[in-house]
Amino acid sequence: MHLMGHGRTRAAVIHQHATSERDREIAAAMDRLIAGRSRRRR
C-alpha cells in the first residue's frame, strides 16, 4: 500500500474503491457513446 502513495491501508482501500467505481462509470459512458454512433451509421 505504501508504494501506491498511501501510508495507511484504509486510505489505500478507499482510494482503490473510488477508482474502480469511476472506471465502471467511464466504461459505461464509453459504451453509450459507441452504441449511439453505431446506430447513426445504419
| pLDDT at residue 16, as a whole number | 84
Q: What is the rounded distance in angstroms from the CA atom of residue 36 to the CA atom of residue 19?
A: 26
Torsion of CA 22, 25, 26, 30, to 10 degrees: 170
The letter for the amino acid at 32 is: R
What pLDDT was estimated at residue 2?
46
pLDDT of residue 41: 64
The secondary element (H helix, E strand) that includes residue 6 is none
Question: Given this model, what pLDDT does residue 12 score?
Answer: 80
pLDDT tens across 1-42, in order? 445 565 788 888 888 888 988 999 999 999 999 998 877 665
Q: How far apart are CA 14 and CA 23, in angstroms?
A: 14
pLDDT for position 26:
96
